[in-house]
Amino acid sequence: MPFDATAKAFAEALADPAAPPPIETRGRLGAPDARRFSVYRNNVAVGLIGAIEARFPVCRRILGEAGFRELALAFVRACKPRSPVIIAYGDEFPDFLAAQDVAQDLPFLADLARLENAWVDAYHAADAAAATLADLGAFAPEELARGRAALHPAARLLRFATPAASIWAAHQEGQEPAAPSPARPEDVLVSRPGGEVLVRILPQHGYAFAARLRDGATFAEAAAALSRPEDFGAHLVGLVEAGAISPIAFGELA
């Protein structure tokens, strides 16, 4: 059998707990060894479940050890890794959670998982320079208005229909969190100033302002998203202090 077909059969057998070992895999006696293959299949599943547990610690705490592992096992069986890099595994978990019955009782859970995904992405994002307050002070207001700034590679903008960021924050530092507040939308910025990943709930219009910068708008064009033009400085300084934008540029962004 060609190698590609052999690899495909091996992967499919790993994914199905009821499947026999592929006939191409043989033990010391020259025949398929169901017991050894079962141990290997179990080790693969345990490793992938461990990756999901590490990636979504707050979801795990809310669901409890047994409940989370049950969902993680179902996810591992349904969604196979697409990369040999284990830290990349789990991107689809939030959408998987949203389709499960548990989402009816915990409507914020999928958003919480999306936030935890963004935290991991920000942590592993590329290093790059960020704009500083000194950069802002180097330009006259009318000159600054023509400037642009892309989002930093570690910055992530998220828009939730639930208070996912507040729930996430309540579960930090090992505290016993209070019950979640009534559902309310939250716009969130995840960034990594100084190498530390931060989660920040954006003020009103903060998401629209940052999203316009992300899409290539000038500072003046981004300010048009604000109901109060005088708030422009506060929003821009907030993004800079969060390490969320790249150095200021003029002309089109690359």
Is 134 found in the same domain as 33?
no
- Dihedral angle computed from the Cα positions of residues 156, 161, 163 and 164, in that order, rounded to the nearest 10 degrees: -50
Domain co-membership, 93 together with 186 = no
Can you read off the two tokens belonging to residue 148?
């642009």
Give the pLDDT mean for 239-247: 96
Domain extent at residue 232: 128-254
pLDDT of residue 40: 59
Spatial strand order in the sheet of 198-201: 156-160, 186-191, 198-201
Residue 229 placed within a domain? yes
Pairing of strands 198-201, 156-160: unpaired
What are 41-97's pLDDT values in tens digits?
Answer: 666 777 889 999 999 999 999 999 999 999 999 999 888 888 778 888 999 999 999
Q: Considering the domain boundaries, does residue 122 fall inside one?
A: no
Q: Which pLDDT score, from 0 to 100, does residue 252 have?
A: 73
Residue 14 has pLDDT above 70, yes or no: no
Which residue reads 């895999």 in tokens?
Answer: 25
Higher pLDDT, 110 or 139: 110
Element (H, E) at 186: strand 186-191
Is position 115 within any domain? Answer: no
Look at residue 172 in the predicted model and tell me its pLDDT: 85
* DSSP class per residue in 75-98: HHHH---SSS-GGGTTTTHHHHHH
| Same-domain check for residues 137 and 214 | yes
Instruction: Write down the pLDDT at residue 131.
Output: 95
Q: What does the pLDDT read at residue 53?
A: 95
CATH code, domain carrying 140: 3.90.930
Q: Report which secondary-structure segment, H or E, holds 206.
A: helix 206-214
pLDDT at residue 184, as a whole number: 86
Number of domains in the chain: 2
Position 180 scores a pLDDT of 55
194 token code pair: 């100084």
How far the first Cα of the chain sits from its last, in Å, is 48
Residue 29, pLDDT score: 66
- The pLDDT tens digits of the residues spanning 179-233 come to 556 578 999 999 999 899 999 999 999 999 999 999 999 999 999 888 888 889 9
Residue 150 main-chain phi, psi, to 5 deg: -75, 160
Predicted confidence (pLDDT) per residue in 23-47, tens digit:
666 666 666 666 666 665 666 777 8
Cα of 248 vs its chain's centroid, Å? 26
What pLDDT score was predicted for residue 127? 95
**Predicted confidence (pLDDT) per residue in 114-147, tens digit:** 999 999 999 999 999 999 999 988 888 889 989 9
Whether residues 145 and 252 fall in one domain = yes
pLDDT per position as a tens digit, 141-166: 889 989 999 999 999 999 999 999 99
What is the rounded distance in angstroms from the CA atom of residue 91 to the CA atom of residue 166? 22
pTM of the model: 0.85
pLDDT score of 167 more than 60: yes
Say if residue 133 is in the same domain as residue 251: yes
Residues 132 and 253 in one domain: yes
